[in-house]
Amino acid sequence: MELKLDFLREYNENIRLVSPDEINNINIGLIPDMWQELFKEQDKKKRIQKMLSVWRQHIGTNLYNTISYLDEYLEDIELMELDSIYSILYTIKNSKGEFLYYEGRNPQDSFENEELELSWGKIPALIRNFYENVHNGFYDYTSESMGLVPLESVTYLGDEDLDWGIIDELEEPIQINLETSFGFFSNGMGSYVAIDYTNCNNDNATFWSAKRQPKYNVNFWNYVDEWIVIGFE
């Protein structure tokens, strides 16, 4: 436990793991009711299965490979707290025997992304369902990438402060409207799986990059699923 905390605190020195005995001391409304019950469970295998059932309930067969990987390699889930902000720490021992730490933020977090908040009702329902009922982002703890980023970090592609020099190098006319597009997945290296809410039927998305030619008409969930598992490995 101490080795894990030492590692976590290299990135956030005030981070702490909440013991089961402390759960009842958390003020009502700060975490989902389901989390209250989840972290009273002493058996970590039961905790894991209960949490994965939440994933399956709200996103169905989407992220199938991610959920299957977690089902096989997830070692534990613990409640984590930083400055009265709560999230779930996923401890994964991957197929190579390496330990990875992923953070699943609280779906009750306040909305801190003005552009996205104005457009939230136009974002596909399944994406909203994940953020509102499973996690406000699920990503590698050390890099805050290789997953669905928290709402505050979702990239508005139309932001005038962003330099999309790739636009001058496009091999064909741009096929999305940057003013209505948001990057929900980040690989931490300037690439995003983005939704243009004016053209997102059937989970249609774009793999948008600051450096590479975009890939249009990709399936949002399939692409995110593939990239998350790449991150695990």
Whether pTM exceeds 0.75:
yes
Dihedral angle sign, alpha carbons of residues 104, 109, 113, 117: positive
Fill in the DSSP letter of residue 96: T
Provide the domain limits for residue 225.
2-232
Please give the structure tokens belonging to residue 56. 């399956």
Domains identified in the chain, total number: 1
List per-residue pLDDT tens for the chain, 233 residues long.
678 999 999 999 999 999 888 888 888 889 999 999 999 888 999 999 999 999 999 998 999 999 999 999 999 999 999 988 999 999 999 999 999 999 999 999 988 899 999 999 999 999 999 999 999 999 999 999 999 999 999 999 999 888 898 898 888 899 999 999 999 999 998 899 999 999 999 999 999 998 899 999 999 999 999 999 999 99
- What 3 state SS string does 127-189 have? HHHHHHHHCCCEEECCCCEEEECCHHHCEECCCCCCCCHHHHHCCCCCCCCHHHEEEEEECCC
